[in-house]
Chains A and B, each alone.
Chain A
C-alpha cells in the first residue's frame, strides 16, 4: 500500500504542481495555492485509489496460480500448495521444480540446481546428501542444501524442510526470484510517448514564459501561467488510467480463464501476430492415453506392463500425479487390472529422466535377480541397446532395426507417440548411474495417442482471422506433427527439423522462420533462436509452453504463455497463465488484450491532441490579451475535471474492426494525430475568444472571458471523445460504453453549472449570459461535425 502511495509522488507532474502552489501562494495569494494543493491531494487520492484497487485485483488473480510441492507426510505422498509447507516436511523434487523452501537434502540422484537467482552462479550446481565439513559455510558451499527459489535442472531428490517463506535464505536477503523482464513493445511505446510529451511541454512552456515576459506581462503571472500550461499538457492521471485499464482487463481475462501475471504484457498479448506453441494440449486433447503395447514381434509381451509401471515417476495415490505418459501407463494398468503385476518387484535405485538422455531407468530386484529397466524416446533407447527380444530369444538389434524403424515410422505417421522399453540384468551395486545404461535388450513399445482436439481447427482458423499465425515448435518428430496438422486441416507451409536449423546461418534462420509452420525435433536453445529470429523480423511473438525446457523461450518471447498444469519454472517465467490449455481460450484473451490497447490508445490520442490544442490557444491568447485567458488554477481544475471524465474510458466498447487485427504502438501516428486534431480544438478556442471579446464585450471583463472559455474548452475537450473513440458514426454505428456516457455527461453538467456555484466564484468564474449558451451549443455541434469530417479525411490517409 505504501509503495502505491509513494508512486503517486514520484510523478514529475507532482513536482511541477508543488512549484505552482508555492509560487502562487507566495506571490498571488493563498486562494490559488489552496486550490492547487487541493487538486494535488485529489489527484493523489484518485491515482492511489485506482492503482491500489488494480493491484488488489492482480494479487487476487496471482493467487490462482500457485506453486505445488510433493510432500511426504505420515508415509503418504501428497501434492500441496507450497505455502502450506512447514519445517520438517519431507519434500520430493524433480527436474523443472523450483525448490519451495530451504531444505537439507536427504536423498539425491544426479541432482543439479540452477542457483543463478540466488548466488549468481550461472552453471548448474551438483547437490548431494552427504555431510559437509565446513565451519560457517558460505551458501555456495552448502552442497547438501537446497535453497528456496533455485531450479532443479537435472535429476531429482528429497529434502527435509528447514525453513520456509521469509525465514529462508532467499527471503532474508530479499533477493528477487526473477530477473527483470525485457521491456515490452508497450513499455517502449509509453517511453517514447513520454519523451515526446516532455519535449512538447518544455518547448511550449518556455516559449510562453519568454513571450509573455517579453511583451510586458508580470513575471510571476507569466511563470505561473507557463507552469499551468505545462501541467495542462500532461495527462497526469495516465499512469492510473493505464493501470486501471490493464487491471480491469486482467480481471475480465480471468473470467475467460486467462490469468495475467505481468500486467504490462497484456498489450503485447493483444498485439502479438505470431504464436509459437507446442502441439500437445493446444492442437491435441493434451490427455495422453496408452492405446496399446507390444513386443518387437508385435506380441502382448507380459513384462512390458510391469516394467513400464516400475520405470515410472508418477505419484500414485487416489489421484495419479506426474508426467502425462507415466500417468497414462498407470491409468491403463488400473483399467485392465494390471497394477498388481509390480508386487513381485522391489525398487532399488533410479536414474532420473533428463532432456539430454531423453530416457529414465530404474533398477529393481525380483527374487535374487537385479534388473535395470529403461524407458524413453525410441531413438535414445535404440542407441543404448545391443539386442532385441523376439519370440523369447535375444538377437542383435541390427538384425531387426530396419523393420522396427519402418513400424516406428508408420505409427508416427498415424500420429502416435511411442516409448521404447528395454532391460538388462545387472549386479547388485550401492547405486547406479547413466553409465550403466548400455548393452540393453529392447523388449517392446508403448503406443500412446493424444487425440486431436475437436475445436482445434476452429481455434487455429479464428487466430488466423485475428491476424495471429500459429507455428508449431515440438520436440516430437515431424511425421507426428504433420499428421496432427493434416487431421486438423491446418495448412503447413514448410517443415524444418532441428538438424536442419543447426546447419543454418542466422540470416537463413530469419528467412526460414517466416515460411515455416512446423519446427520438429528441436532443442530448447533452438526454440529460443526461433523466437529471437521472429522478433528480429519485427513480429510480436507469443510463446506457449509448459515444460522446464520451455522456460528460456517463455522468458524471451514478448508474451510468455503457460498453463496452470505446467512445471513451476515455466509458470514463473510466463507472463500469462491459462487455466485451460486451449487455443480458443487464448483467442478470447487476445480479444481482451486488444480492447485494452484500444482504450489506452484512445486516452492517449484524445488527451494529447485536445490538451495540445487547448494549451496552444492559451499560449496564443496570452500574447494578444491584456489579461491571462484562464487563471492557472482554472487550467488545473479543468485538467483535473477532464481526467475524472476519462476514468471510465477503460470500460468503453471497442469497435469490432479495431480488434480484428494486431496493432503496434506507433509514436509517429500519435504525433500525426496530435498535429492534425490539436488545431481543431485551438480554432474553436479562438472562435470563443472572438465571441467573448466582440459579441459579449468581455475585453473589459476578464472573469467573463475566462468563464466563457473554460466552459467551451471543457465541453469540446470532453465531448470530442464520442467522435474520436471510433472511426464509425458516433452513437449510430458505434455505441460508447454506458459508464463512459454517464460520467462524461455528468462532468459536462458539472462544468456547466460550476460558474453559478460558490466553488465557481472561489475559482474566479462568473455567470454567463443566456445567449452565450445558445451559441455554445451550436458552436460545439459544428466543432464535433467538423472533427468527424476531419476524421474521415485523416483515416483515409493515415493507417493504424
Chain B
C-alpha cells in the first residue's frame, strides 16, 4: 500500500491540475461564446457542448483511471488503460478534424 500522506498529496495535485485545466477550458469556451452574436449562441445545443468538451471528458476519465491504477500499483493495468484511451482519442481526432486539417 502506498504511503497515504504522500499519495493523498499526489492525488490532490493531479486532481487540482485536471480541474484547473477544465476550468481554463470552460473560461476560454465562455469567452469565445461572448464574442459570438446572439443567433449563434442559441444554435449551440447541449449535445454540441458535450461533443466540444470531449477531450475534457477523456481527461477526467483518465484522471480517475490513473489514480485508481496507481493506487493499485499495477503497471499492467496502467499500460492497458493507456492503450484504450489512445484508441478513443484517435477515433475522436479522426472524427473531429475538418477537411483542411
Contact = CB atoms under 8 A, between A and B. Distances in A.
A657 B101 CA distance: 10
A762 interface: no
A683 B82 contact: no
Interface stretch (A12-20, A406-414, A429-437, A774-782): A774-782
B55 A789 contact: yes
A787 to B, nearest CB: 9
A672 B70 contact: no
Contact of B10 (A689, A778, A793, A798): A689
Interface in A592-622: 617, 620-621
A727 interface: yes
B11 to A, nearest CB: 8
A790 B56 CA distance: 8
Contacts, number: 131
Interface string A607-644: 00000000001001101110000000000000000000
B28 A733 contact: no
B55 A793 contact: yes
Contacts of A623: 9
Interface string B11-50: 0011011101100110011011000000000000000000
A778 B25 contact: no
Contacts of A781: 82, 86
Interface stretch (A88-96, A313-321, A692-700): A692-700
B64 interface: no
A798 B97 contact: no
Interface string B61-101: 01000110011011100110011011001101100110011
Given A693-B6, A779-B82, A793-B53, A683 B17 contact: yes
B4 to A, nearest CB: 11
A798 B32 CA distance: 7
A789 B13 contact: no
A687 interface: yes
A679 B62 contact: no
Contacts of B55: 786, 789-790, 792-793
Contacts of A693: 2, 6-7, 10
B10 A624 contact: yes
Q: Give the one of A657, A672, A682 with max B CB within 10 A.
A: A682
A722 interface: no
Contacts of A691: 70, 78
Contacts of A729: 93, 97, 101
Contacts of B100: 657, 728
Contacts of B17: 617, 620, 679, 682-683, 686
Nearest to A623: B9
B54 A775 contact: no
A572 to B, nearest CB: 43
A682 to B, nearest CB: 5
Interface string A759-800: 000000000000100110011011001101110111011100
A727 B96 CA distance: 12
Given A781-B86, A789-B93, A687 B32 contact: no
Given A686-B14, A778-B82, A786-B58, A792 B96 contact: yes
A798 B28 CA distance: 8
Contacts of B79: 774-775, 778
Given A624-B9, A686-B10, A687-B66, A793 B101 contact: no
Given A624-B9, A679-B17, A793-B55, A695 B62 contact: no
Given A771-B75, A789-B92, A694 B82 contact: no
Given A676-B21, A687-B66, A694 B71 contact: yes
Contact of A793 (B2, B20, B25): B25
Contacts of A778: 78-79, 82-83, 86
A690 interface: yes
Interface in A240-269: none
A695 B24 contact: no
A99 to B, nearest CB: 55
Interface in A421-443: none
A193 interface: no
B13 A695 contact: no
B92 to A, nearest CB: 6
Contact of B89 (A679, A775, A786): A786
Contact of A728 (B18, B59, B101): B101
Contacts of A198: none
Contacts of B75: 695, 771, 774-775
B93 A695 contact: no
A382 interface: no
Interface in A658-695: 672, 675-676, 679-680, 682-683, 686-687, 689-691, 693-695
A679 B15 CA distance: 11
Nearest to B90: A785
Given A676-B24, A676-B25, A686-B14, A699 B90 contact: no
A686 B28 contact: no
A309 to B, nearest CB: 61
Nearest to A656: B100
B78 A679 contact: no
Contacts of B62: 782, 786
Contact of A699 (B6, B16, B20, B59): B6
A770 to B, nearest CB: 11
A465 to B, nearest CB: 16
Contact of B78 (A676, A683, A775, A786): A775
Contacts of B101: 727-729, 733, 792
27 contacts: A617-B13, A624-B10, A679-B18, A679-B20, A679-B24, A683-B59, A686-B13, A687-B70, A690-B14, A693-B2, A693-B6, A728-B101, A775-B79, A775-B82, A778-B83, A781-B82, A782-B89, A786-B89, A788-B89, A788-B93, A792-B55, A792-B97, A793-B25, A793-B52, A793-B55, A796-B52, A797-B31
Given A683-B17, A786-B58, 13 more contacts: A625-B6, A676-B24, A683-B14, A683-B21, A690-B14, A693-B7, A694-B70, A695-B75, A785-B93, A792-B93, A792-B97, A793-B54, A798-B28
Interface of B: 2-3, 6-7, 9-10, 13-14, 16-18, 20-21, 24-25, 28-29, 31-32, 52-56, 58-59, 62, 66-67, 70-71, 73-75, 78-79, 82-83, 85-86, 89-90, 92-93, 96-97, 100-101
Interface of A: 617, 620-621, 623-625, 657, 672, 675-676, 679-680, 682-683, 686-687, 689-691, 693-695, 699, 727-729, 733, 771, 774-775, 778-779, 781-782, 785-786, 788-790, 792-794, 796-798
Task: Kindly list the 9 A-B residue pairs having the minimum CB-CB distance in the complex, ordered from nearest.
Answer: A624-B9, A797-B32, A789-B55, A785-B89, A686-B14, A778-B82, A679-B21, A690-B70, A694-B2
